Structure 1
Amino acid sequence: MVRSLAQWTKTLSFPSRISPNKNSKENVNTVSPTVTPTISSNSLSPPCLKNNEINNIMNESHLTSELSQIYPDPDSEKSIMSSVVYCIHHKEGCKWSDELRKLKAHLNTCKHDAKPCTSNCGAQIPRVLMEDHLKYTCPLRRARCEFCTKDFTGESLENHIGNCGYEPIYCENKCGLKIQRRLLGQHKGGDCFKRLVACRYCKKDFVADTMAAHHTKCGRVPVACPNRCETTGLVREDMELHMKDQCTTSLLCCAFKDAGCRFKGPRYSIEKHLEENSPHHLTLMCSLVTKQQHQIASLKSALSRLSLNYSGTLIWKVSDFSAKMAEAKTKEGMELVSPPFYTSQYGYKLQASLFPNGNGAGEDSHISVYIKILPGEYDALLRWPFAHSVSFTLFDQSTSPEKACNIMESFIPDPTWKNFQRPSKEPDSLGFGFPRFVSHEMLKKRHFMKDDTMFVRVKVDPSKIVAV
């Protein structure tokens, strides 16, 4: 490739090792006034000829003048042409540097200098990239498809790649197989074990390799009756109902199995069995009822023992007091009784009673409270007569506890009184207590009643000291 002077002198860089003042004395006397070499103001930058100066020179000579006309002074010409310069492609990686007169010859062989593609594709390619261009990117190169082995030009090969029917590609169903593009449709439609297939029984879609497992659970799969009855067309999801209500050969237990009947036979014989064995079934049921009654009584006894209070203190909640008071005024001697409680786990069994409209001296004016001793499980081990002090407390339900004023009464049992002796199976119906515990008027003065409910505490003190 031949270049004109203007082409190869368009950009010139001088190494800094050339002193800008070298031969300065000679240059002052010999350089033509039309050409003035300039030095960069930066002392670290290499001296270089300005592009506009070279272009002005070339324009003035109209690109046809001889070098002798541009540099009439041979000494100035020699000085400039002997200046050491870098290759104009040094920024692209060329490390060449030499005298200016040798630049033109270097550019003809510089690997970084562009030249037309040798295959005549029209591209200007740097010499260093020419080999790669001819092999990989030139649109006029000849190449062969590695899959179908057909020859193409470079441009047509690029269009062919990605459409070649012989190129193996991964199945879109992610089965892991590589299939030629031309056979992919056939593979996805019939061979791929990850394709979706409709179950022929329930018509739902499943992955092909899971179909066998689905058939073991599918509710619409036809199955045969395990009793080998004559019914046909059964499916798995209807089998349970068939065996329970429809299969004529299924062995069934008698409806009185839980009562003790051990008969077991085909469905058609059950009705006959029930008709012929009614008296026997009635006897079994009576025996079962008796057994269950004993079990219920035992459970109730155990439950009552678990719910008993063994602390010696009873907090008795009396709710709906207004209705009970109204009933007591119309019904003479109406008595409310508390749940029974024990003084300890193996102690005395007691029960409190309350008369809303009073009893004895407190009738129609006061609330009466009493305590009575009930027959207990451990009476044979206890000391008689009963001698523990007993106290009754009516709680003031004021919202301010420090302002509450409870009503309390207590007594120490008289050992000579018969109600404190060991009770018989039929205890005294009244007991011992306070007929005039609290007046009806006092109930209205303070907060003894709240939400139509009162709380009474009955406390047994084994120290025989009157509780306060």
Structure 2
Amino acid sequence: MKCEHCSCNNIYSDPESEKAIMSSVVYCIHHREGCKWSDELRKLKGHLNTCKHDALPCTSKCGAQIPRVLMEDHLKYTCPQRKTRCEFCNKEFTGHGLENHIGSCGYEPVYCESKCGVKIHRRHLSQHKSGECSKRLIPCRYCAKEFVADTLAAHNSKCGRVPVVCPNRCDINLLAREELDTHLKEECTISVLPCTFKDAGCRFKGPRFSMESHLDENCRQHLNLMCNVVTKQQHQIASLKNALSRLSLNYSGTLIWKISDFSSKLAEAKNKEGMELVSPPFFTSQYGYKLQASLFPNGNGAGEDTHISVYIKILPGEYDALLRWPFAHSVSFTLFDQSACPEKSCNIVESFIPDPTWKNFQRPSKEPDSLGFGFPRFVSHEMLKKRHFLKDDVMFIRVKVDPSKIVAV
């Protein structure tokens, strides 16, 4: 063996040592790559000449060092100098040329970039995108807005600028679809229109050009129709008002009467003799007695100047002919103590059972009793100040009719 560091041909001074070393068993230097060869060291060089894992220069002179075991695949698939053909256009290229060619071959099928779903040769792609693709943008020829090609037909079916013909075949040949309604309602001379007094009862229909003469010639008729409409509406309004008032009436037999600004009302009553406050009417039932409470802030009769007086009046009602007379239900008046603690409140209550012989409780005439019946000295002005009967200058009085307490007659 020749020494790598000097000109001597033998690095072993002892032939026996050389023989021992060269006879030692070794593994192929490509053992880790998968070569299973092992033998005497002297045979290693001969093995490497045939070892499939030993690298050799590419036979096509691409410059790569390729293991023998991979040489065939390299020459066939990866060598830049290999000869191969494009699978799409069938032209021959070197391996390096094919890599540059792939991705630009005009015969390679590719999907449209606009995602219309079509697969087409690359060389036809531009033509497809500009003139055939269902997802290309196309301007509407009427309104100039752009739409996807496969939605343009739907747009055209409702585009406001599409020209249409007047259905009445008037002098205007074409007009935009969005202008048709206005044209028919306001401009078309041939449109058949109902009279403007149609809702009042006029049955005339005719072309627009004849409408003016119709209105001029039938002024009196139209005026009579409108008068009839007004009369009918007045009756309806009156009926609705009556129905609404009936819905808002109190049929419970109990009235909670809220009297606000009592101090100013009392001051006014002191300067105005006989000043009386009256409550909203209420009923003992839907078809029962009609009643109304009244209050004198500065008193009346025996309570004048010192007390508040309360009374109840019987008013003429729609169903008086069906009711039992004289009026015989007990009546109570309650002045509420508005204390913050309900347990400590002390309401003032006065009640009476009607005397059937009194005129106040007979069936009322069209003009009811001017005063009614009640308590002239209901609550003194001094008592009003002692508890919480007035709170925020508001007083609450309950008037309750009890039908269970009736005097037998």
Question: TM-score scaled by structure 1?
Answer: 0.77
Match of 1:336 among 277, 288, 293: 277
Correspondence for 1:76: 20
Correspondence for 1:300: 241
Match of 2:208 among 246, 267, 276: 267
Question: Cα distance 1:255–1:65, how it changes in 2: closer, same or farther (>3 A)?
Answer: same
Match of 2:343 among 402, 411, 417: 402
Alpha-carbon distance between aligned partners in 1 of 2:32 and 2:47, rounded to the nearest angstrom: 16
Structural mapping, 1:67-466, within 5 Å: 69=13, 72-73=16-17, 76-77=20-21, 81=24, 83=25, 85-322=26-263, 324-325=265-266, 327-329=268-270, 331-464=272-405
How much is the aligned-residue C-alpha RMSD, in angstroms? 3.0
Alpha-carbon distance between aligned partners in 2 of 1:278 and 1:195, rounded to the nearest angstrom: 62
Q: Please state how far the C-alpha of 1:460 moved relative to its aligned partner.
A: 1.8
Q: Please state how far the C-alpha of 1:217 moved relative to its aligned partner.
A: 0.9
The 3-state SS of whatever aligns with 2:375 is: strand
Q: Give CA deviations for 1:140-179 in whole Å, capped at 9, x if unaligned.
A: 1122222333222211221121122332222121111123
- Choose between structure 1 and 2: higher strand proportion: 2
Question: Cα distance 1:415–1:101, how it changes in 2: closer, same or farther (>3 A)?
Answer: farther
Alpha-carbon distance between aligned partners in 2 of 1:149 and 1:351, rounded to the nearest angstrom: 111
Correspondence for 1:14: none
Question: Cα distance 1:98–1:299, how it changes in 2: closer, same or farther (>3 A)?
Answer: farther
Contact 2:337 2:388 in 1 (8 A): yes
Alpha-carbon distance between aligned partners in 2 of 1:327 and 1:258, rounded to the nearest angstrom: 54
Q: Give CA deviations for 1:352-410 in whole Å, capped at 9, x if unaligned.
A: 22333433333444333222223344444443322222222222333333343333222
Contact 2:35 2:53 in 1 (8 A): yes
Give the letter aligned to residue 308 of structure 1.
L
Question: Cα distance 1:231–1:431, how it changes in 2: closer, same or farther (>3 A)?
Answer: farther
Alpha-carbon distance between aligned partners in 2 of 1:329 and 1:259, rounded to the nearest angstrom: 57
Give the letter aligned to residue 315 of structure 1.
I
Alpha-carbon distance between aligned partners in 2 of 1:362 and 1:200, rounded to the nearest angstrom: 94
The 3-state SS of whatever aligns with 1:463 is: strand
Alignment length (residue pairs)? 406
Alpha-carbon distance between aligned partners in 1 of 2:182 and 2:365, rounded to the nearest angstrom: 62
Alpha-carbon distance between aligned partners in 2 of 1:146 and 1:396, rounded to the nearest angstrom: 105
Alpha-carbon distance between aligned partners in 2 of 1:431 and 1:449, rounded to the nearest angstrom: 25
The 3-state SS of whatever aligns with 2:239 is: helix
The 3-state SS of whatever aligns with 1:462 is: strand
Question: Cα distance 1:246–1:330, how it changes in 2: closer, same or farther (>3 A)?
Answer: farther
Question: Cα distance 1:293–1:69, how it changes in 2: closer, same or farther (>3 A)?
Answer: same
Give the letter aligned to residue 243 of structure 1.
L
Question: Cα distance 1:328–1:132, how it changes in 2: closer, same or farther (>3 A)?
Answer: farther
Q: Give CA deviations for 1:182-216 in whole Å, capped at 9, x if unaligned.
A: 33222222222211111121111101121121111
**Higher-Rg member (1/2):** 1
Contact 1:357 1:365 in 2 (8 A): yes
Question: Cα distance 1:113–1:433, how it changes in 2: closer, same or farther (>3 A)?
Answer: farther
Q: Please state how far the C-alpha of 1:332 moved relative to its aligned partner.
A: 4.4
Alpha-carbon distance between aligned partners in 1 of 2:148 and 2:279, rounded to the nearest angstrom: 72
Contact 2:21 2:41 in 1 (8 A): no
Alpha-carbon distance between aligned partners in 1 of 2:311 and 2:14, rounded to the nearest angstrom: 145
Alpha-carbon distance between aligned partners in 2 of 1:71 and 1:417, rounded to the nearest angstrom: 164
Contact 1:71 1:77 in 2 (8 A): no
Contact 2:166 2:174 in 1 (8 A): no
Give the letter aligned to residue 340 of structure 1.
P
Contact 2:328 2:353 in 1 (8 A): yes
Question: Cα distance 1:219–1:424, how it changes in 2: closer, same or farther (>3 A)?
Answer: same
Alpha-carbon distance between aligned partners in 1 of 2:119 and 2:134, rounded to the nearest angstrom: 13
Alpha-carbon distance between aligned partners in 2 of 1:156 and 1:298, rounded to the nearest angstrom: 99
Q: Give CA deviations for 1:270-328 in whole Å, capped at 9, x if unaligned.
A: 22222222222222222222222222232223223322323222222233445544554
The 3-state SS of whatever aligns with 2:110 is: strand
Where structure 1 has 5 or more consecutive residues not aligned to the other structure, the ranges are 7-57
Give the letter aligned to residue 231 of structure 2.
T
Give the letter aligned to residue 391 of structure 1.
S
Give the letter aligned to residue 454 of structure 1.
M
Give the letter aligned to residue 246 of structure 2.
R
Question: Cα distance 1:335–1:221, how it changes in 2: closer, same or farther (>3 A)?
Answer: farther
Alpha-carbon distance between aligned partners in 2 of 1:64 and 1:241, rounded to the nearest angstrom: 116
Q: Please state how far the C-alpha of 1:444 moved relative to its aligned partner.
A: 4.3
Q: Please state how far the C-alpha of 1:433 moved relative to its aligned partner.
A: 1.7
Alpha-carbon distance between aligned partners in 2 of 1:326 and 1:247, rounded to the nearest angstrom: 72
Alpha-carbon distance between aligned partners in 1 of 2:7 and 2:190, rounded to the nearest angstrom: 119
Q: Please state how far the C-alpha of 1:136 moved relative to its aligned partner.
A: 1.9
